[in-house]
Every structure is written in structure tokens, then in C-alpha cells.
Structure 1
């Protein structure tokens, strides 16, 4: 029997998502509801992993419209049993899984289960320092109680932050630390809600007194939000006085952030800082090999070499390409081939020849149907701002230009470049209609 709440959520998703996305990834899912959360059942781990990576935020937003608040959403590869007898026979196994999950689950303010571990992380020259620092913080061997991880999108900072949560909350220790993991935007939303409801004492107790470890993602969200920064600074001071451990992640180094209170800027620089660079060819091959084995995909060596050679700037794209390639092979009932790989690669941001700023300007102007002078003008028209921010994002991703150099090319300060890139990343992560428009523009970048 289908669930009317899930049916309603599906109808919302069907109207908001690309038809192909809905048919391939949402329609096969079934759902069960418990304690205000949603457990989605995918037909296999391949579909489950794809939904977790790309569509959780869309599902959560649609569910919030139906249920009145954003529920906790998790995805399992175990298909939902059909029929009453099947449900009864599956109950003991499901209960056992639930017990195991609850025992290992961190105190997670965002409502999402941690799904990454250190064992899944492929270490190479580009990320070894961040990996060792993350492990060190968990084992309390890092000579600092604060860690700041910086990287471009899709290079592993979220993987490491969630791996820390898994390691800290796992194992058989009787007394597990009180850990909170959430994004800077989620922290801000909870703070604003506490202010509006005059419930600040509970908020302060939750984040200052009832926390041993705070993992805060996308700290650049606080730029320009001085009132929110005051409360964050007070929270960090309280945690530091208690000897708590704190982890920040950001797409930018602290020195690149603007609109920050001087004390907060100093605090962000106070601990250990580690950056993750783009992985080299060997590391990309190792990542593909690990992902292929985990998804039980037979990936020929020449195809792995092609993918690693052509997708160089974003590990999420590399894994997504592998997943789509495997799905196409299964749908067609064929083995993965070079020809098939080239067909799938056409949908991705592939590396061919070095991209220059002039090519980016030409591409952005073509996509948004504007003139090059609009990008450097003072115009605040929505289309011009959107195009300008997209150009900032592409220049940051595909060139070696500094933020100051990018700003100079478009007659903007480096702080404006940071804000523009942050705005693009937010829309992309939320998969809003605007985000999908930007994603299409980025994917159409011609090398």
C-alpha cells in the first residue's frame, strides 16, 4: 500500500525536478515514516548513493511543504517489503538495523546521518595533510583543539568532517562525546529562531554547555552578518574555555573572507589550518578504483584512465560520472566501453585544454546573452549579476588567478568575488531552480 504523504511529496518533486531525474531516481523509491523522519527505500545501493549525493535537499524541501517542517531523511538500499507478511518477516531485521544505527549515530543537529568514514577516503598528496589533521583531532594527537579545512567544491572537506563524526561517535566506548554537526547556515537559522521565540537561554545551553565537539561547515556563510558573528564568537569562547574541540570547513581560507569581526577572524586562524588541493592523476585513478569496487562496477583500465584524465577539478563529478556510466551500461545490458564513456562525459565538466579568463567571459556572455562589458559594468540587473557570479565561480575553478586578479578583471573588489562565488555555491547545493540554471551554464562550459 502506498503512503499518501509520500505520494504528495513525490508529486511536488515531479513538478520541480527535471523529468529524467524524477523518473530514474525518485519514482523507484518507497518510503516509511517514523518519529517525524523519513526512511527512503531504494532498489539497490547504486540508486541509494545517487539519491544521497544529489537529491536529499530537494526531498527535504518537498517534505517540509507537506509535513510542515523539514524531516530527517535517510536512504537505505534495502527495498521496502511488500505485503503484510513480508513486513512482519522483515521487522526483526529492520529493528536490528535501527538499533545498530542509533547506537552509532552522532548527536547531529542537521538531522542527517553521517555517511562518510576515513576508510572510504582516498589519500594522496593533495589531501594528506587534511586527512592526518582530521584523524589527529579525533585522536587528540593534533597540537590544537581547532581545525580549519579549506577546499574547492567536491574535493572532500565534507567527507572528512563527517568521517570525524563517525569516528568520534563510533566504537564501543561507554561515554561518547556530545557532538554537534551542522552548517553555518543551519546554526544561524537556529539562532534567529531562538531570538524570535525568546528562547536564547536554551540555545546558549545547547551550543555552549551541552557540546564537547562542534563541527561547523561552510563558515564563510557568516560574512557580513555581524550580529550572528557576535553569538558565534561567544559560543566559540565558551567552548574553548571548556577545552572543547571545534572543526570549521570553508571554500575559502580565513584570509580570503571579508566582513568578519576582527576577533572572529583571529579565532578562525587560531587553530590548525589544512587545505585540500585538486587531486593528481594517480589519486583520481585510485578514487575511481575504490568507487568502482564499492559499487560493484567492472571498470576497464582504459576507461578509468579516460575519466581520470578528463575530470580533474571535482571528485563529486568524477563519482557521478562513474555512477551514470554504470547505470547506462546496466540499462543497455552492455559492458562499459570507451565509446560509452565518451558519450557520458559529454554531460560533464571535462578537462581538454587549459581554460583562460577570456574563454570564460565568452562562454558566460553566450549563455546569458549579454555583452562582455556588462560583466565589468556597475549594472545590478539580475541577469548581469548572475552572469558575473557565474564567471567568478568558473574563474576560481578553472584558472590559477587569485581572487584579487579575478576581481580586477571584472572591476570588482575581491570581497565581491567571494560573495559571488558563495552565492553560486549555495544555489548549487540547494538545487533550487536558479541553482539548476547556473549548473546548466557551468556544465555547458566549452573547453
Structure 2
């Protein structure tokens, strides 16, 4: 094992002070520094699961500690296993070392490889991408670009919320292009990296060199999260001219963003218009069946046994973000490994309760809760909101009020108003009654848990 650089030794000391001994020993101690160039900290981790866990749970703390020690704001990237030779790590591309070498053909080890600039994760292929109606158009467009770069769908913009597979598709394009032509010139970077590089070139008075490097003849130019260019006047202008040059030279350009072009506020109109001239496709949150398929595929890839009922539980409770699905899988795997236990529904409920609650809070409305309660008790919305005190209706009504208070963030008067204008004290009484019932383990507890599964 290589000796840690001094800054990393100091960072580990700080991290050890703010984590539990078990967490430090299992997840931080095995990390090695692969390289640290131009504010990009490349960390080598033992496995893909390790990478996901660190990125999900520890990356912010690591970046904060390293910045405090080095005075440099860092971007963290990962190398999985020992597939990359530690003796001679490939330097990240910059304007100081123009992109003179072509990419490498992807191997079968499922690791990061060096493209002309940036790193490509060969695990992110079209074959490992779970296709459904929520993303099939984006998947088809990306495959079309990979098969014929520069000849159609240029530029291609893939948009959608974070964590739905946009970056996966960028890597998949690069992997397929390099399979067809191992000497293809691939540029992969984030908008933030482009901006940081441009600012550094201004500081070093080497803007011409920066400009020449990024306007070299790439076969494919992949850039993530272009919404980052908002309010970045000079950097956005530099990117606009680079973008125009590459498209004008018939080099394939693929971009991602969190919104469609017309909704990308604070970007210049000319850039928005240019983006709209290409093909714009979206990725949407996956449906239940797709979420289950994603969990099964990830578990199989990591040789992890995941019972069907646990997959269903996770998929029912984490609905909008594939990264959160992966994070849940990593957390369960880590807990099972550390405690020497099997993954069960009970374990998943306890371990992932914070993730489940956060997703419910973000997505659940009073209308959604009332619909679920009516479906569960087989009553109508009118009966739920009626003034009847019959137990058949008052019990479900109290549960609905309790769930509304728990998950929507609404005040007691607001909830009361939504139930036919009842007094807010009625809601307060309902919440207190259900709280007491849950604490005493009455049958209501099972009813509440089963209704929450419907939300």
C-alpha cells in the first residue's frame, strides 16, 4: 500500500474525529489517493459499492476537510479497485497539457478509463441501463449518437432531475464510441470543471491555450450539468463559442441539464436558442416496476442477495431518484456486512427510515394521503370528509389527519380546512390519539404502516 500524501494523512485525522470508529475503519481507512491535480482529487476505493457509499454519505465531509487543509476547493472523482496503474496515473487534462492522446478501448473490468480528457466509467453501458417508458426516447437517442457521432442528433441535450441516469448515458455513449474506434477522441467533463479551468487560464494568462485545447477536433464532446453556466458571464460566453465551433465542425456534442432549454433561467438567449435547434429529450422518474428492476440489477452486479419483499419495500418508498435507490442498497449491504446479519424487511425499515420519510415528505400531499386512506378502508372521499362520527369513518379520518400532519408540513388549521372545514382542535386530538395508539402497539400501527406503503 502506498504511503498517504501528507494532506491526506491530515484529512484522515480530521475525519476520524468526526466519525464513529466503525465507520472510519470500514469506509475511510481503505481509501487511497490516486492523484491530486488541478483541484481534482482522484480517490481509489476497493469496490463500486464502496464508491457509492462514500459519495452518498462521506464525500462532502472529505471535500471540506481537504479544502481546509490545502486551501483548494476540490472536485472528487473515483477509481475503483486497482485497475489503473498507481505508478503512473494518467494526468487529468488541462490547458497546460493539451489533449494529445486518444482514448482507450474499454476493457471488461468495469473500471474508470482515461478518455482524451476526463474519465469514463465502463460500468455505465447501454446494456446496464434499465430502459422503461420514462427514459426510452433518451436511451434510443443516445444509442443513435454513439452509432453515428456527428451525423445526426447534433447537439443532443438530455434533461431531467438529478439521479435519473443522464450521466450514465453520457458514459455509455463514450464506451460505445471507443469500442467502435479505440482511437476516438472523447472529451467528458462537467460544466463546473469547464468554468474552473477557464478561470485558472485567466489567472495564468493562458486563455488562448485553454481555447485551443477545448476546440481541438473531438469526435465526441460530452458535458454534464450545463445549468451551472448560469450567472457565469465570461465562462458562458467562452463555452458558447466552443460549443458553436464543435457543432460547426460536425463534432458530436451531447449535454445534460436539470431542465429543458426554455426553463434554464439566467442563461443567454443565444445559447438557449442554439440548444433548442438540436434534439432535446428527457428522462423522467422511473415507475415501480423499473425501480424494482434497477434494484435487482444493481444487487446482482454486486453479488448481493436482495429478497423480493425488500426490493418492493425500497421501490415503494424511494420513487424519484435512482442514486437514492443505489444508496439504500449500499447502506443495507454495509449494515449486513458489519453486523453479520441478513437483509430483511424489518432491517430495511429501521435502517432506511430517514430516507423513506424524506421521500414521503417531498412527494406526499393531503390529496394523496386521503386517496390512499380511502383506498385502504374502501370508503369514499365524501365519507372521509363527512361529519359522521361512526367508527367506520372517524377512524380512517383520524389516521388521515395524523399522516397529513406527519408528511405535509401543513398546520393544524390548514389540515382542518381540507377536511370539510373542521376545527383545528379536531386535528390535534386525532394526531394525539394515533400517536398514543402507535406507542401502545395497537392494530392501528399495522394499518398506518400499510397505508404509508401506498403513499
**Could you tell me which residue of structure 1 aligns to residue 50 of structure 2?**
47
Deviation, structure 1 residue 156: 1.0
CA distance in 1, matches of 2:218, 2:275: 19
Q: Tell me the SS of whatever aligns to 2:215.
A: helix
**Could you tell me which residue of structure 1 aligns to residue 133 of structure 2?**
125
**Could you tell me which residue of structure 2 aligns to residue 160 of structure 1?**
169
CA distance in 2, matches of 1:167, 1:54: 31
**Could you tell me which residue of structure 1 aligns to residue 12 of structure 2?**
10
Deviation, structure 1 residue 28: 3.3
User: How many residues align structurally?
Assistant: 345
CA distance in 1, matches of 2:257, 2:283: 11
CA distance in 2, matches of 1:114, 1:58: 27
CA distance in 2, matches of 1:214, 1:207: 9
Tell me the alpha carbon deviations over residues 224-245 of structure 1, each in whole angstroms, 9 at most, x when there is no partner.
3333222121111111221011
Deviation, structure 1 residue 11: 2.1
Q: In the alignment, is residue 268 of structure 1 matched against residue 286 of structure 2?
A: no
CA gap 1:210/1:150 in 2 versus in 1, 3 angstroms: same
Q: Tell me the SS of whatever aligns to 2:44.
A: strand
Q: Tell me the SS of whatever aligns to 2:354.
A: coil
CA contact (8 A) 2:120 2:188 kept: no
> Which ranges in structure 2 are unaligned for 5 or more consecutive residues?
91-102, 107-112, 369-406, 409-454
Q: In the alignment, is residue 325 of structure 1 matched against residue 332 of structure 2?
A: yes
Q: Tell me the SS of whatever aligns to 1:243.
A: coil
Q: In the alignment, is residue 175 of structure 1 matched against residue 183 of structure 2?
A: yes
**Could you tell me which residue of structure 1 aligns to residue 388 of structure 2?**
none
Q: Tell me the SS of whatever aligns to 1:120.
A: coil
CA gap 1:186/1:4 in 2 versus in 1, 3 angstroms: closer
- Of residues 182, 188, 191, the one that matches 1:184 is 191
CA gap 1:61/1:209 in 2 versus in 1, 3 angstroms: farther
Q: Tell me the SS of whatever aligns to 1:209.
A: coil
CA gap 1:78/1:52 in 2 versus in 1, 3 angstroms: farther
Deviation, structure 1 residue 127: 0.8
CA contact (8 A) 2:153 2:278 kept: yes
CA distance in 1, matches of 2:52, 2:58: 10
Q: In the alignment, is residue 278 of structure 1 matched against residue 282 of structure 2?
A: no
Q: In the alignment, is residue 136 of structure 1 matched against residue 137 of structure 2?
A: no
Deviation, structure 1 residue 40: 2.3
CA distance in 2, matches of 1:73, 1:310: 29
Tell me the alpha carbon deviations over residues 234-262 of structure 1, each in whole angstroms, 9 at most, x when there is no partner.
11111122101111111111111122222
